[in-house]
Chains A and B, each alone.
Chain A
C-alpha cells in the first residue's frame, strides 16, 4: 500500500505539487489524469524519489519517508525506497548497450545481487510474460517502440517492486502499438500488481482503474471510481477536462 500525505514540491518559485493526499491500496490500480503541466509527472517522480519532495510524507509498505525542506535524505534510504518502486518511462529509457534480456537482468544482478543464473531465469520468464520471449537477445534499437516499452515493464517488474509507476507509457507510441502495451498492463492489473498510471487513455482508465485521480494545477481535484469521475461527476474542472479530452 502507498499512502501519500500533504506532499509539496516546488521548482524554484513554481509550486508544482500543492499538498497531495492519496492512498493506493495494495493490489489496486490508480490512474492519474489531468491537463498538461498539472504535476502528474512530478508526482510520479516524487514517488520514485527522482525528485525529492519539499514537504509531506510517503509510506510504502512499512517504510515511511518524511520530507522537510533543506533536510537531506540518507542515500541508503533513497536506494531502499527506489528498489521497492518500479518506474516505466514515457521514452522507455532502456539501456542501449544491453540486450533485452540483459536489460531485465541488470538490476537483479547489480542491485539485488542475485546470481546470474537466477536473474536470467527470471528475466526470461518476464520477457515471455510480456510476449517477447523470442526477442530476448535483441538490442533496444532492434525493437519497435511497443516492444521496447514492454521490455521496460519487464525491467521494472524484475526488481519485484511493491508498486509500478507508469508515466504516459503509450504516448510515444504509434497508435497501432498502443494496444500491446496496454494489454500487458491490464494483465498485471488482473494479477493484482499495485500500479499508479499516468495516461491519457481514458478507455484504459475506465476498464482497469480501481481509482481515477484527476489532478489540476498541483492539487487533486477529484478522486473516485471510474464511474464516479467519468460519469457522475458534477465538478466543473473535471467536466471541462473530460470534454476537452473526448473531443480530441
Chain B
C-alpha cells in the first residue's frame, strides 16, 4: 500500500496534523448544531404532535400539512431553498442560523410522528384511571400520559439523535465549517482524500459512539421505573 517509508511518514504527518483541526470543527459546530437543533426540534415536534392529536380540525390540518411537506422533500433541498433561495426574496440568512432552522424543522417533522405514536400507544385505561380520580384532560395529559410517552419515545428519539449528528454534515453545503467541511478543506490542499475522509468518518464514529452511550444511559435511567 505504501510505496516507501517516505510516503507513509507523509500520511501519518498529515493525519496527525489534521486530527485536531477536524475534531475542533466538530466540537465547535457539529456538536452545537446537533444539540441546539435537537432541543428546538423536539419542542417543535411536541407541539406538532399535540396539534395532530387534538380534536381541533384546523390544527390537525396544519400539522399534517407541515409534516407532509417536510418529510416528503429532501433535507438538502430544504437547506438550499433556505440559504440560496430566500435571498431572492430579500431574506438573507447566515449559514449557521440557516442550518439551525432547516434541521430544527426536519427534526420537528420526523420526531412529531414518534411523539404522536408514543402518546397514542398509552392504553386507554390510563386515561380512564386519570379521569376516574377527577383529573381534567390536560391534567391527565401532563401527569399521566406524557411521562409514560416520554419513556416509550426515548429509544426511537435516540436513533433520530444519532442520525442528526451525521445529517449535520449537510451543513457543509452552505459553507458552515463543521466537521465535514473542515475535512473537505484539508483534503483539497493535501491531495489525500482517501485518508482524510477516513479520518473524518472515524471522528463521526467517535461522536456517535459517545452519544449512543449517553442514549443508553438515559434509557436505563428511565427504564428503571417502567412497567411491562
Contact = CB atoms under 8 A, between A and B. Distances in A.
Interface residues of A, number: 31
Nearest to A108: B133
Contacts of B151: 97
A13 interface: no
A93 B227 contact: no
A50 B144 CA distance: 17
Contact of B134 (A79, A93, A95, A139): A79
B133 A86 contact: yes
B185 interface: no
B65 to A, nearest CB: 29
B148 interface: yes
B125 A139 contact: no
Interface in A101-132: 106-107, 110-112
B148 A89 contact: no
> What's the dominant secondary structure at chain B's contact region?
helix
A83 to B, nearest CB: 4
Contacts of A50: 128, 131-132
Nearest to A106: B143
A145 interface: no
Contacts of A49: 131
Contact of B133 (A75, A82, A96, A140): A82
B163 interface: no
A155 interface: yes
Interface residues of B, number: 23
Contact of B135 (A93, A96, A97, A107): A107
Nearest to B151: A97
Contacts of B91: none
Contacts of B10: none
Contact of B125 (A83, A93, A155): A93
B125 A140 contact: no
A156 B126 contact: no
A139 B227 contact: yes
A195 interface: no
Contact of B139 (A93, A96, A110, A159): A110
Contacts of B128: 50, 87, 89, 93
Choose among B126, B129, B139, B148 the residue with the greatest number of A CB atoms under 10 Å from its CB. B129
A48 interface: yes
Nearest to B147: A97
Contacts of B225: 96-97, 99, 139
A140 B227 contact: yes
B131 A82 contact: yes
Contact of A155 (B133, B135, B147): B133
A93 B133 contact: no
A83 B131 CA distance: 9
Nearest to B222: A97
A97 B226 contact: yes
Nearest to B132: A87
6 contacts: A85-B132, A93-B129, A94-B129, A106-B144, A111-B134, A141-B228
Given A82-B132, A95-B126, A95-B129, 11 more contacts: A50-B128, A80-B134, A86-B133, A89-B128, A93-B123, A94-B129, A96-B226, A97-B226, A107-B134, A111-B139, A156-B132
4 interchain residue pairs of minimum CB distance: A96-B227, A107-B133, A141-B227, A83-B134
